[in-house]
A = this chain, B = another copy of it.
Amino acid sequence: MAPQYAPSLRSRLPLVAFLLETIFILLFVFFVKIEQHELIDRESDSKLFISSYAEFQDTHVMIFMGFGFLATFLLRYGFSGSGFNMLLAAMAIQWAVLMNGFLLPQRHHRKEIHISMKSVIEAELCAASALVAMGAVHGKTNPVQLLLMALVEVTGFVVNQWILRTLFLADPVYSIMLLHVFGALFGVMVSWVLHREGIEPVHEKEKTDRKTGLLAMFGTLFLWMFWPSFNSALVRDLKLKLTVIYGTYLSLAVSVVMAMSVSMLTSAKGKMNMVHVQSSALSGGVAIGVAMTAVHMPWIAMTIGFCAALLSALGFRYMKNHMLLAFECHDTCSVLNVHAVPGILGWFALLFLRLASDESTVVVQFAVYHICVLLITVCMSLVMGTATGLFLKWSIWRPQQDRKCFDDQAFWEFPNLAVKK
């Protein structure tokens, strides 16, 4: 009878979570204070606060509601999708506040970490990076593995930012917007190392239905609607901020139209696929996020959204299965097509737009620098993803059996289902 149940995590998850949470609180005791200068430094104190708080809230909604409900699309994995998303994000944020404070200190106070609107928004974006990575292994890992993976991912992402900012003097906003590329490649590598033979080619439980499709639509819409705030939250210059907001808005509007069209065009029966549409509709936001500092005209933003959705929808339709068959890499939410490919498209767009506007002497220099930034991010994410995958393969973490993948029953009580069905 024993092997019928998924291994119990009773002795694992509470222990790991208690321990980590206690360590976090102790670190907060010694290192973290609430920023007080935030208000005194500048004249327009409350104005600044209001603006930042609204942007923080929009980002907050995207992380917990957007990612959380986008992750409920699997028929039997909704509790885990939204629940683990909340657990991971809550832990990742605390850890990101600490990591950002240690590695990327603000001016003026290098010995203490000060919590401010800026620091919590940055922490939320780091958490977003971990949640993107989680998409690749969605349904195939237990919460202990996810928790450890999230913390390693955040660490890697912050270290990557530190390298880019210190060695390459990269723009902080640009370095943080690479979160999609970093997270997606990290997640894909973890998923590749943790590959399960048993879920190939199509797992019985990896499916969606009318109701979970709508709940996922819900998460999609929250991400889609607040993406302009997500991209512009850390931009300080008001003119650029507005340009980013309008650009993201238009890019996403075009993405929706393209995602639906391509999804219908590539289907033999001329029908749209809800999962493809939901994912590809967001690709315009990813692409424009990377390229945003160089996009000053609405039509350029729309063209980027057009191409991103095209690539993403085609990739979801044709590449996901190919990856599984050819590379033995199962990428549940197809984060490669939704985050990595549009992210790299945005990188190309940024390169071309800069090359088109700058003078010739600086061009080569910029291109080399720009290519290095991407290469480092890609290498970091691939290496750390592989290492994390190997670490998580350790049987001490009690991974569930193949049969129990994509299934809430392994982790959640359903006392009444037994009676009902």
Q: Which residues of A contact B (CB under 8 A)?
A: 5, 8-11, 13-14, 17-18, 20-21, 24-25, 28-29, 32-36, 38-39, 44-47, 49-51, 53-54, 57-58, 60-61, 64-65, 68-69, 72, 75-76, 78-79, 82-83, 86-87, 90-91, 93-94, 115, 120, 143, 207-211, 213-215, 217-218, 221-222, 224-226, 229, 238-239, 242-243, 245-246, 249-250, 252-254, 256-258, 260-262, 264-265, 267, 269-274, 277, 281, 296-299, 302-303, 306, 408, 410-417, 420
Minimum CB distance partner of A247 in chain B: B34
Report Cα–Cα, A416/B11, bound state, in Å: 36
Minimum distance in angstroms from A70 CB to a CB of chain B: 13
B8 touches A270 (CB 8 A): yes
Which residue in B39, B120, B262 is a CB contact (below 8 Å) of A14? Answer: B262
Cross-chain pairs A/B with CB under 8 angstroms, 19 sampled: A11-B270, A13-B261, A14-B264, A28-B298, A29-B297, A32-B298, A49-B238, A57-B229, A64-B224, A69-B214, A72-B214, A87-B256, A87-B260, A90-B254, A91-B257, A93-B253, A214-B215, A267-B413, A269-B413
List B contacts of A10 (CB < 8 A). 264-265, 267, 269-270
Copies in the complex: 3
Minimum distance in angstroms from A280 CB to a CB of chain B: 12
Which residue in B8, B17, B61 is a CB contact (below 8 Å) of A269? Answer: B8
Report Cα–Cα, A100/B297, bound state, in Å: 19
What does DSSP make chain A's interface, helix, strand, loop or mixed? Answer: helix
Minimum CB distance partner of A276 in chain B: B413
Minimum distance in angstroms from A232 CB to a CB of chain B: 9
Given contacts A87-B257, A270-B8, contact A79 B265 (CB under 8 A): no
A68-B221, A76-B210, A87-B257 given. 19 additional CB < 8 A pairs?
A: A10-B269, A13-B261, A14-B261, A17-B260, A25-B303, A25-B306, A38-B242, A39-B238, A45-B238, A46-B47, A64-B224, A72-B214, A82-B221, A83-B272, A93-B253, A210-B417, A271-B412, A272-B411, A272-B412
Report Cα–Cα, A306/B213, bound state, in Å: 35
List B contacts of A46 (CB < 8 A). 44, 47, 51, 238
